[in-house]
């Protein structure tokens, strides 16, 4: 697959951190795959890594490659486009550039500051100007990438910890916690060692099932890790609702919250929920992600790996015959969809 890499020349860490960060953010947002900065700057590397974590994607940042090394080590099957005020107009060359791009593995875009060395002009395949007027390198890069990608980069979607949904007069921010976030949330709500170990064990089984089915891994990962967070409040059947409430209060994505709400056994039917005095919610797992989390939890008792027969026996001994049958049916459904011997999965 073709990659687009921006090379940032002339970066001065003490003065240019903000503008070079904006070059990197623009490259990331407008369809590039990474940026190389000519001098070392761990701060920018860490800043962009944080953006990736929050908003998704694998945009790569490498710093500390001087211009001579860059020009002499770039791969053979690639081209360099040098953005310069003194280049050929982009509108005259863009069709030729697109044709060249189709036949190469990598496209490097050279974005310089002042005093760009002559080697940039000599060794670049194209010296391109977006205008003959003074312009920010950030704006010039955005225009070039938009022309190069024909606007398709604007419809790209990445999925990270945060999902921003804009409205005419506001926005919604939805949180998709990663594993570090999940552990932090458990500790924030005073989860004890037993609960943390149980959560890790259920998560391990759930993710192994995920490997064999087409599902949203992020939802299962967080849902299985947080499924019992409600036990930090109370340790009875109400813990699923309390966990749901905690997750909603933490602004966690609804599909994860509902994995927490519906994980008990193979779900709780409406009539049972009313008898138990639970708030009026749907406690039956419906999505594949919800069913995976519930199934994984059924295969862990405390911190021990058990078989589905062990779990069914526990339910039968408590007189929960209908719940046991639902659990058996759910186990069979996930077994068929994953093609796994679920009882053979190890923590």
- Confidence at residue 132, expressed as pLDDT on a 0 to 100 scale: 86
Predicted confidence band of residue 166 (pLDDT cuts 50, 70, 90): confident
Q: What share of the chain is helix, strand, coil (3-state, %, to 5)?
A: 50, 15, 30
Q: What average pLDDT does range 158-179 have in this prediction?
A: 83
Specify if 161 maps to a domain: no
Specify if 205 maps to a domain: yes
Specify if 162 maps to a domain: no
Identify whether residues 150 and 281 lie together within a single domain. no
Specify if 160 maps to a domain: no
- Confidence at residue 1, expressed as pLDDT on a 0 to 100 scale: 64
Write down the pTM of the prediction: 0.78
Q: Is the pLDDT assigned to residue 250 strictly greater than 70? A: yes
Three-state DSSP class for residue 52: helix
Identify whether residues 138 and 210 lie together within a single domain. no
- Confidence at residue 81, expressed as pLDDT on a 0 to 100 scale: 96
The percentage of the chain sitting over the pLDDT mark of 70, rounded to a whole number, equals 99
In angstroms, the CA 16 to CA 23 distance is: 10
Q: In what helix (H) or strand (E) does residue 174 lie, and over which residues does it extend?
A: strand 170-175
Identify whether residues 113 and 208 lie together within a single domain. no
Q: What average pLDDT does range 219-248 have in this prediction?
A: 97
242 token code pair: 């309390």
166 token code pair: 């804009």
Q: Which residues make Cβ contacts (< 8 Å) with residue 51, sequence separation at least 6?
A: 25, 28, 59
- Confidence at residue 113, expressed as pLDDT on a 0 to 100 scale: 82
Q: Is the pLDDT assigned to residue 3 strictly greater than 90? A: yes
Q: What average pLDDT does range 251-279 have in this prediction?
A: 95
- Confidence at residue 154, expressed as pLDDT on a 0 to 100 scale: 82
Predicted confidence band of residue 75 (pLDDT cuts 50, 70, 90): low
Q: How many domains does the chain have?
A: 2
Instruction: Calculate the average pLDDT of the chain.
Output: 94
Q: Which residues make Cβ contacts (< 8 Å) with residue 9, sequence separation at least 6?
A: 38, 67, 110, 111, 112, 113, 116, 117, 120
Q: Which domain holds residue 145?
A: 3-155
Predicted confidence band of residue 164 (pLDDT cuts 50, 70, 90): confident
Instruction: Evaluate whether 152 touches 31 at the Cβ level (below 8 Å).
Output: yes
The enclosing domain of 56 has a CATH number of: 3.40.1280.10
In angstroms, the CA 262 to CA 244 distance is: 9
Question: Which of 123, 155, 187 corresponds to the end of one domain?
Answer: 155
Q: Is the pLDDT assigned to residue 216 strictly greater than 70? A: yes
Q: What average pLDDT does range 60-64 have in this prediction?
A: 96
Specify if 172 maps to a domain: no
Tell me the CA distances in angstroms from 109 to 134, 226, 276, one per residue in order: 19, 43, 63
Pairing of strands 106-112, 3-9: parallel
Q: Is the pLDDT assigned to residue 278 strictly greater than 70? A: yes
Tell me the CA distances in angstroms from 34 to 5, 48, 54, 152, one per residue in order: 5, 10, 17, 17
- Confidence at residue 10, expressed as pLDDT on a 0 to 100 scale: 95
Identify whether residues 129 and 186 lie together within a single domain. no
Identify whether residues 187 and 151 lie together within a single domain. no
Q: Is the pLDDT assigned to residue 231 strictly greater than 70? A: yes
Identify whether residues 193 and 92 lie together within a single domain. no
- Confidence at residue 305, expressed as pLDDT on a 0 to 100 scale: 95
The crossing angle, in degrees rounded to 10, of helices 254-261 and 288-298 is: 40
Specify if 12 maps to a domain: yes
The enclosing domain of 201 has a CATH number of: 1.10.3210
């Amino acid at each position: 697959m073709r990659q687009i890499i921006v090379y940032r020349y002339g970066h001065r860490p003490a003065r240019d951190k903000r503008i070079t960060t904006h070059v990197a953010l623009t490259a990331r947002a407008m369809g590039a795959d990474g940026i190389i900065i000519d001098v070392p700057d761990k701060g920018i590397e860490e800043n962009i890594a944080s953006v990736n974590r929050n908003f998704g994607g694998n945009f790569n940042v490498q710093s500390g490659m001087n211009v001579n090394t860059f020009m002499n080590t770039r791969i053979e099957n690639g081209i360099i486009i040098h953005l310069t005020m003194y280049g050929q107009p982009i509108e005259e060359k863009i069709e030729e550039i697109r044709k060249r791009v189709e036949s190469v593995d990598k496209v490097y875009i050279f974005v310089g500051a002042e005093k760009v060395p002559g080697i940039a002009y000599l060794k670049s395949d194209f010296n391109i100007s977006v205008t003959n007027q003074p312009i920010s390198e950030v704006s010039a890069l955005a225009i070039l990438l938009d022309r190069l990608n024909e606007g398709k980069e604007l419809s790209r979607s990445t999925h990270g910890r945060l999902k921003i949904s804009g409205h005419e007069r506001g926005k919604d921010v939805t949180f998709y916690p990663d594993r570090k976030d999940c552990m932090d949330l458990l500790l924030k709500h005073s989860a004890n060692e037993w609960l943390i170990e149980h959560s890790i064990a259920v998560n391990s089984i759930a993710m192994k099932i995920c490997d064999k089915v087409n599902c949203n891994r992020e939802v299962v990962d967080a849902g299985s890790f947080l499924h019992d967070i409600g036990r930090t409040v109370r340790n009875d059947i109400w813990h699923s609702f309390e966990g749901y409430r905690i997750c909603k209060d933490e602004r966690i994505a609804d599909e994860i919250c509902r994995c927490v709400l519906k994980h008990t056994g193979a779900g709780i039917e409406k009539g049972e929920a009313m008898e138990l005095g639970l708030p009026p919610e749907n406690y039956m797992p419906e999505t594949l992600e919800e069913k995976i989390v519930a199934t994984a939890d059924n295969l862990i008792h405390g911190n021990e790996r058990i078989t589905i027969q062990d779990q069914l026996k526990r339910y039968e001994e408590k007189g929960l015959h209908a719940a046991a049958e639902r659990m058996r049916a759910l186990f069979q459904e996930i077994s068929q969809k994953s093609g796994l011997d679920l009882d053979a999965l190890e923590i």
